[in-house]
Amino acid sequence: MADLSINFAGIKAPNPFWLASAPPTNSGYQIMKAFEAGWGGAVWKTLGVPVVNVSSRYGSTDYRGSRMVGFNNIELISDRPLADNLKEIEEVKKYFPDHAVIASLMVESKAEWHQIIKDCENAGADGLELNFGCPHGMCERGMGSAVGQEPEVLKTIVEWVMEVATVPVITKLSPNISHITDPGLASVQGGTDAISLVNTFKSIVGINLDNYAPYPDVGGAGSNGGYCGPAVKPIALNMVRELASHLQIKGTPISGIGGIETWRDVVEYLLLGASSVQVCTSVMHYGFGIVREIEAGVLQFMDDKGYDTIYDFVGKALPNVKEWKDLNLNHKVVATIDEEKCIGCELCYIACEDGAHQAIGLSGDPGNRTPYIIDDNCVGCNLCSLVCPVQDCITMDRRDDGKAEITWAERMANNDVPTTFNDSRAGGLGHYVPEPSLALKKNQK
């Protein structure tokens, strides 16, 4: 069986499945329970300065029958006494010497940073994570994302930390920034051992339509919260990818965070360059037990593909994430509807008709609700296959000969690009678009 153990920038753990610094890591009790359940590491809920919290604290984005596809919070860092947390770190390490216990930190002055690092190392923390991410509350006090959004400040603090730290240091980045590589590069230049991302996104999950307060509602008012959960995964994945493929950042271990719930999510993060992952929302939703599904799935994947360790496939998808100009313009796919499977919901029809390229037709026979593809109009956009509720009913079939590949970059180099809209080489020219007036009911047969 594959070996899941990792050495992440010097932090050893039995597996790459860690808990992110968040409510599930608020206490030694929770972390011991998590380790027993199968988690390989935990980043302690951020330690720092004394804080006071509000009630309520969490908000959710529900989508139809699904709860918490997105989740936000306005909770601050740990509101427990530092001494209690340190004592519990020590105790957890006694029970679980081989698991990774990482102290997440957020303080202000250089002296405070130096002191708290010493305290955590003395308590036995295996590593430190610098919280430059929280987009609510703490940033108003000059910490969290207030640091993460200023690469120069971030770099300076990383430098302070590296002056004294004797255990590996992970810098946690805020995604509330135009280019994630700016703080990423700053952290590397400051000397960080590793990077973790993403922290939460500035967000409002909704408004109470009776009192007009944003959720979570604190007495008829709210504040922007930090957004996470399955809904943010695509954005986080891309940010991980940007760092992992950046010339001056790649090589720095990355811990991937954002919307992870299943083994599939974990594998995707690893394929895009993360070499550990951190999970919060799905544990807040389902408890620590979800790690069983994650571990079983990752092991199955590794066995199926013949990987011995995760390092055999970390970053394996990166070469396939290209710039648009390097994609093959000759690649052509066209939708095919499996008439046996089609249930006649006609969602593909209306999606293509109203939302895409008018490339799907209806039979006109009330007894036959299976739509048909108008091959000449189909641009291979995938939309129909994405909206189809039936598994494997609409497939995108390859129609080019698979031989000659040509990219926009190559055509630019060959001076083979359209220069006017009527240029025969311009896109969209052969594509049928109905007359605008045909949209009106009175003009349809």
Partner 1 sequence: MADYKRPASEEDFHQNFAQKKPLMNDTEAYLESSRCLFCFDAPCVTACPTGIDIPLFIKQISSGNTEGAAKTIFDQNWFGNACGKVCPTKVLCEGACVYNHQDVKPIDIGRLQTYATDSVISSGKTLFKPGASNGRKVAIIGAGPAGISCACELRTLGYEVDIFESKEKPSGLTLYGTAPYKITNEEVLAEIEYLENSLGFNIHYNSTISTKEQIEELQSNYDAIFLGVGLGPTAKLDIPGIDLKNVEGAVEFVEELRMKQHEVTVPDRVIVLGGGNTAMDAASETSRMGAESVILAYRRSKEQMGGYSFEYDLAVSAGAKGLFNVQPVRIVGTDKVEGVEFIRTEQKNGKLEYVSGSEFILECELVIKATGQAKMAPFFDLIDGLELDSGNRVIVDSESFQTTNPFFFAGGDSVNGGAEVVNGAHDGKAAAHGIEAWLNSQNS
Catalytic residues: 134
Q: Rule CB under 8 A: is residue 345 a binding residue for partner 1?
A: yes
Q: Per-residue b/e over 315-348, b at no fewer than 16 CB within 10 Å?
A: bebbeeeeeeeeeeeeebbbbbbeeeebeeeebb
Q: Are the beta carbons of 77 and 47 closer than 8 angstroms?
A: yes
- If 0-12 CB within 10 Å is exposed, 13-18 middle and 19+ buried, where does residue 185 land? buried
Tokens of 204: 């409002």
Query: Which listed range, 63-71, 87-95, 115-123, 223-231, lies at the site for partner 1 (CB under 8 A)?
Result: 63-71
Smallest distance, partner 1 to C-beta of residue 389, A? 5
Stated length of the chain: 445
| Residue 40 or 230 with smaller CB distance to partner 1 | 230
Rounded CA-CA distance 175/341 in Å is 42
Answer for which of 111, 343, 406, 426 binds partner 1 (CB under 8 A) is 343
> Shortest approach of partner 1 to residue 366 CB, angstroms?
8
Omega before 385 within 30 of 0, i.e. cis: no
Contact call for residue 51 and partner 1 (CB under 8 A): no
Q: Which of these segments, 20-28, 230-238, 345-353, 435-443, binds partner 1 (CB under 8 A)? A: 345-353
Give the total of residues touching partner 1 (CB under 8 A): 16
Which of 65, 306, 319, 364 touches partner 1 (CB under 8 A)?
A: 65
> Taking CB under 8 A as the rule, does residue 439 contact partner 1?
no
Q: Is residue 342 a contact residue for partner 1 (CB under 8 A)?
A: yes
- Rg for the chain, CA atoms, rounded: 26
For residue 116, how many other CB atoms are within 10 A of its CB?
Answer: 21
Contact predicate 343/354, CB 8 Å:
no
Residue 368, interface with partner 1 (CB under 8 A)? no
The CA distance from 43 to 25, in Å, is 7
Least distance (Å) from partner 1 to the CB of residue 282? 20
> Among 352, 445, 437, 443, which Cα is nearest to 396's?
352
* Part in contact with partner 1 (CB under 8 A); list of ranges 180-188, 230-238, 306-314, 343-351: 343-351
Q: Binding of partner 1 at residue 390 (CB under 8 A)? A: yes
13 contributes a contact to partner 1 by CB under 8 A = no
With beta carbons less than 8 A apart as the criterion, state whether 373 and 336 touch.
Answer: yes
Examine residue 389 and tell whether it contacts partner 1 (CB under 8 A).
yes
* Residue 217 binds partner 1, judged by CB under 8 A: no
Note the residues at the interface with partner 1 (CB under 8 A): 64-66, 341-347, 349-350, 366, 369, 389-390
